[in-house]
Amino acid sequence: MQPRLTTLPSGLRVVTDAMPDTAAASVGFFTGVGTRFEEMNQAGLSHLLEHMFFKGTKTRDAKTMNRLIEDVGGSLNAWTARDQTAYYASVLGEDVPLALDLLADMMLNPRFDADDLEREKHVIAQEIGEAKDTPGDLIFDVFQSAAWPDQPLGLPVLGEEQTLEGITRQHLLDYVASHYRAESCLLIAAGAVDHEAVAQQAEKLFAALPSGAAPAPVRAVYRGGEISVVREHEQLHLCLGLRGSSSRSADLHAEMLFATALGGGTSSRLFHEVREARGLAYSVSASLTPYEDDGILSIYTACDPERAELALEVITRETAALVHSITAEELARAKALLRAGLLMEMDSSSSRAIRLASSLFTHGRIMPVAETLEKIAMVTLEDVRRVGARLLASPLTRATVGPAEALEPFASTVARLAA
C-alpha cells in the first residue's frame, strides 16, 4: 500500500502509511524546526521545549498522561535535532485515537508551569554535564561547532547551562507561537492505521493549530577549522569533516555512496585499513549529514593517543585515494548497503514515519522508495569521483577530545588531504 496525504484547511499535512501485517502503530507530530532555528542567546530552547511538553497540559498532569498511554501498553517519547523536532506515540492500532488525543493535547494545551520549567532546567543541566563527561558524545558537539562556528547550526542540541538559565516561560510560549505553525508541521501515522479515521480525528483535534509557516532559519555558512579539547583520557576522539551538499542536491546520493565506500561498513576502506590491517582503532566510520542548505561528510575514530598520528595519516591517505581509485566492485557494494538499509527500514513503522517526514520537509512531497532506489542505482563511478574531488577541495574541519598534544598541526592534515 502507498502512503496517503491529506492537507487540512489549516495547512497541517496528515500522512498515513498503512502496514496490513502489523498490529502496532507509530503516531508522530513532527515540526520542521529544530535547534538551528534558535537565537544564539537561547541555545537549547528546542530541547527544553521537548521536556516541557511532557510536563502536563491544562487538563491533564504528567502522571495522568503517562498512565493513560501505559494503560494500553503504549509509550510517549520525543527527540530534538538541528532541523526537526518530533513527538510520537507507539501504540497498538486500536489505540491510535488515544495517541492522537494525547499528542494534540500536548501540542496545543501545554501548561508550561514555572516550577516545572526550573526543575527541567536542572535536569537538562545534568544531561549536559553527562554529555561533557562522555568524550564519545562531546566530540560531535565540538565537531559541529568547528564546522559552523558562531552560528545556530554549530550549537549543541542540549544547549549550554548559561543560555538555558535565561529562558523564561514567555520565551517558550513565543517560540511555539511563531514556529509551531501548521504549514511547518506534519502529523504522521504508520502501521495499523486507517487514513480517513486519522485525518478526520486530526482535523478536529488540531483545529486550533495556527496557520502559516515558521520563519526560516539563519542560512548555514560552512567554514571549517580546528577545535581541540585537551583532556586526560585513555583515548583520543577525532572527527574530520569536509563540506557536503544539501539534502536537496542532485549529488546527494553520490556523496552518500562515497561516504559508504569510505567508512560505511566492515568492508569499507577505513574499516579495513585502520582496524583490520593495522589495529589502530576499535571503531572508525564515515557518514554524510545533509541539511536543507548545507551538509558535511564526517569521519570519526577513537584510538590510543600514541597511535593517533598514524591513524590520522591512514585516514587522510585513504580518503584522498578513494577519489581516484574507487572500484566498480566497491561502488556496487556501497549501493547494496544503502539499498538493503532502506528496504529493511520499511519493516519498522517508526522508521517509515521518520522517512516520510524527511521526504516532505525536504522535497515537499512523498518520495517513493522506488524513486530513491532508482537514484542510488543511477550513480556512476564518475559521479562518485567528481563529488569526492569536490569534497576534498572544501575547507577541512578537525575536532579532537582527549590528549591531542602529540597530534600533527592542523595545517599538516590540510596539506595531506590536498596533496
Q: Give me the active site residues, please.
A: 50
Helix (H) or strand (E) holding 187: strand 185-191
Cβ(238)–Cβ(304) below 8 Å:
no
Cβ(10)–Cβ(211) below 8 Å:
yes
Place of cell 564515515: 286
CA–CA separation, 86 and 121 (whole Å): 20
Kind of pairing between the strands at 396-402 and 236-244 = antiparallel
CA–CA separation, 86 and 92 (whole Å): 19
Cβ(185)–Cβ(12) below 8 Å:
yes
150: burial class by Cβ within 10 Å (0-12, 13-18, 19+)?
Answer: exposed
Measured in whole angstroms, the distance separating CA 184 from the mean position of its chain's CA atoms is 17
Place of cell 498490529: 23
Q: Which of 120, 102, 50, 104 shows the shortest CA–CA distance to 81?
A: 50
Sign of the Cα pseudo-torsion (120, 121, 122, 126, in order): positive
Q: Which SS3 state, helix, strand or coil, does residue 248 take?
A: coil
Grid coordinates representing 93? Answer: 492500532
* Residue spans of beta strands (DSSP E) within 46-117: 75-80, 85-92
Cβ(256)–Cβ(263) below 8 Å:
no
Cβ(148)–Cβ(185) below 8 Å:
no
